[in-house]
Structure 1
Amino acid sequence: MIRKSLMGHLVGGTLLAATMVLGSSGGALAGDKPAPPTAPVKEIKDERALKLLQDMSDQLAGSKTLQFKTRSLVPLDSPTGQYISLFASSRVLMQRPDRLFVESRGDLLPNDLYYDGKTVTAIGLIGKFYVQQEAGGGKLDAVLQQEVPSADTLAPFVDILVSDPYARLAKDLSSAILVGQSTIAGVKTDHLAFTAPGVDWEVWIGAQDKLPRLMITSYRGGERQPTFTVEFSDWKRDAPIPAQTFKVAIPKDAVKLEFKQLGLPQPR
């Protein structure tokens, strides 16, 4: 599910920069001990669950433009070693094959992220700084799937923006089940649950529009592992997006930071 990407590296970098600006700190406790492994998950693959996941992927992949909003609970390691949950919200606008704008707000550092077909730019709105990386031009997939040593937990929607979400989401699955149906924010949904190496994740997909409404990702392998929750709303498919949306607007007095010096620690 949540995987490393260049997008996440840049967004994560803006959060770390804010941490440095505000003077806060975090990390593991010196007395931390390795957690015992959990019991293996039974391998059950329900073809109904895989079919519904494929239907969602087809709906997303077939859209020339996508617009939606997210509300997330993001766990971060505190100085005491406890995970604390911060609220985050985002507005996402994507135009295939090579345009993306993400407006992130909430408890995390407010930032705007742009991909204009050539360059990925993340601008921190507090402290007036930005990080930027040339992406070499080309399709959005090349940027979304570029692996880097950082966490992209601040961009939990990356998995659904690639040209083939099913290939990414279904990779290495060891189990897939159809839990049933439930209502999320007034929308009737199909509730699916999946397991992959080291992670359990669930998704609630609109029964009519086949669009994701809620995702929960939980890491396995220890007594204390983070859980990420993201809710999707305000979906628009194939609606026109003004070209100005993807034009980078860097404040005149913003300071450029080297993104190679930034990054967030991986969950233990």
Structure 2
Amino acid sequence: MADYTAAQKSITATYDSDIEIITPELQKIQFSSSGQLKMTRPDKLRVRRTGGYTDVDLVYDGKTVSLYGNNAKAYVQADAPGTVEQLVEAIQAKTGAAMPGTDLLLSNSFDVLTSDVIEGHHIGQGVIDGVECEHLAFRGHDTDWQIWIQTGPQPIPRKYVITSKTVAGAPQYTLRIKDWKTDAIAAADTFSFKPPEGATKVGLDSDVMIEFDEVPAGTIAGAKK
């Protein structure tokens, strides 16, 4: 899977994600969102995420990253020359956004995924959205994770579950990937950001960055893998 995904120059997909939080009363609450991903290696990325507390569009053209929050009707921009992998690392470092699932797209995804693994097992077979998959489970020091990989000549990830063991109640993050395609992205403006009419440009400390997360501000979630 890691070799196959790293070899794809262009990737488009849709996804559904669920992230759990644990309340002070130890009740487990789940927040859900859906989105679309478009990526061309090494330096083009567009991600849309829509949920109950988030509606954002991230666009990266290799030089500038733009993040538009539909709820806030505002956007932030920053110079970020480099690659998609450097962008993900910078966002995680500067904003604290976990961005779980991005490790599946990295060119060195195998090294990143297994860096904390102390034990792994092939559980068996499973079916995700009607597609037969191989089910694997891994244990780490802080997180455990499972992955379902499509069988056959296209070993793509179909489902990814991260369990945070350092948070009481062991909340989980679940990612389901659909409509995976590796055809070249034809539209020339796919990775160009054009502010919607009436949108306001704001600073990096604005609510637009808060919208980038999948849960309301103030909640404590796991899935920091």
- Alignment correspondent of 2:33: 88
The answer to whether residue 23 in structure 2 is matched with residue 65 in structure 1 is: no
Contact between 1:91 and 1:103, CA under 8 Å: does it hold in 2?
yes
| Pairing 1:116-155 to 2, within 5 Å after superposition | 116-135=61-80, 137-146=81-90, 147-148=92-93, 150-153=95-98, 155=99
Structure 2 unaligned regions, length at least 5 = 211-216
- Alignment correspondent of 2:128: 184
RMSD (CA atoms): 2.2
Cα gap change, 1:139 to 1:150, in 2 (>3 Å): closer
Alignment partner for residue 113 of structure 1, among 36, 58, 61? 58
Question: Whose radius of gyration is greater, 1 or 2?
Answer: 1
- Alignment correspondent of 1:232: 177
Deviation digits for residues 194-224 of structure 1 (CA, Å, limit 9, x no counterpart): 1222101100000112000001111003432
Alignment partner for residue 175 of structure 1, among 114, 119, 124? 119
The alpha carbon displacement at 1:77 in A equals: 6.0
**Helix, strand or coil: the match of 1:244?**
coil
Contact between 2:149 and 2:156, CA under 8 Å: does it hold in 1?
yes
Structure 1 unaligned regions, length at least 5 = 1-55
**Helix, strand or coil: the match of 2:93?**
coil
CA distance in 2, matches of 1:97, 1:164: 13
TM-score between both structures, scaled by the size of structure 1: 0.72
Contact between 1:69 and 1:92, CA under 8 Å: does it hold in 2?
yes
- The amino acid across from 2:75 in the alignment is Y
Contact between 1:114 and 1:247, CA under 8 Å: does it hold in 2?
yes
Contact between 1:113 and 1:121, CA under 8 Å: does it hold in 2?
yes
Which stretch of the first structure deviates more once superposed, 219-228 or 93-102? 219-228
Contact between 2:22 and 2:169, CA under 8 Å: does it hold in 1?
no
- Alignment correspondent of 1:34: none
Instruction: Report which of the two has the higher share of strand.
Output: 2
Alignment partner for residue 137 of structure 2, among 183, 193, 199? 193
% identical equivalent positions: 31
Alignment partner for residue 103 of structure 1, among 40, 48, 52? 48
**Helix, strand or coil: the match of 2:117?**
coil
**Helix, strand or coil: the match of 1:58?**
helix
Contact between 2:19 and 2:221, CA under 8 Å: does it hold in 1?
no
Contact between 1:71 and 1:230, CA under 8 Å: does it hold in 2?
yes
Contact between 2:26 and 2:169, CA under 8 Å: does it hold in 1?
no
CA distance in 2, matches of 1:186, 1:123: 34
- Alignment correspondent of 2:20: 75
The alpha carbon displacement at 1:132 in A equals: 2.3
Cα gap change, 1:194 to 1:85, in 2 (>3 Å): same
Deviation digits for residues 105-157 of structure 1 (CA, Å, limit 9, x no counterpart): 1323211110111111110112301222221x12212112234154434x333
Cα gap change, 1:241 to 1:167, in 2 (>3 Å): farther
- Alignment correspondent of 1:165: 109
CA distance in 2, matches of 1:63, 1:157: 17
Contact between 1:144 and 1:162, CA under 8 Å: does it hold in 2?
no
**Helix, strand or coil: the match of 2:189?**
helix
CA distance in 2, matches of 1:127, 1:267: 23
The alpha carbon displacement at 1:186 in A equals: 1.1
CA distance in 1, matches of 2:76, 2:39: 20
CA distance in 1, matches of 2:170, 2:202: 31
